[in-house]
Amino acid sequence: MSIFGLFEKNDKKVKDLSNKTLRVQKLRCPQNHKCPAVRVCPVDALSQSKFEAPKIDLKKCIKCGKCVRYCPTRALGFE
Ligand code: SF4
């Protein structure tokens, strides 16, 4: 596969994300720590009360995927 093929593949992934919604899988979140994903969100779409699983403001979320990559237990993901 050429390097151009890789770019095309990545472009398709971004397009697919537009039809998906960010979700929190609470069972994957140990809910015993300050969520590291909250502070990486560029639009302040994640919030956390105490050590609970983070909440998503879907009106703010721009689907950049940063929080998904930051969560070590993969509790955040697009469905
Ligand atoms: S996908 Fe991006 S904009 Fe949406 S909550 Fe995660 S970090 Fe914030």
pLDDT band at 5 (very low <50, low <70, confident <90, very high): very low
Question: Tens digit of pLDDT for each residue in 11-64?
Answer: 554 557 889 999 999 999 999 999 999 999 999 999 999 999 999 999 999 999
What spacing in Å lies between the alpha carbon of 33 and ligand 1's midpoint?
19
The CATH number of whichever domain residue 71 belongs to comes to 3.30.70.20
Q: How many domains does the chain have?
A: 1
pTM summary value: 0.79
- pLDDT value for 1: 45
Residue 74 Rama label (left phi>0; alpha psi -120 to 50; beta): left
**Lining residues, ligand 1, CB within 6 Å:** 22, 40-41, 43, 45-46, 56, 61-67
Gap between the Cα atoms of 56 and 34, Å rounded: 15
Enclosing domain of residue 58: 3-78
- pLDDT value for 2: 44
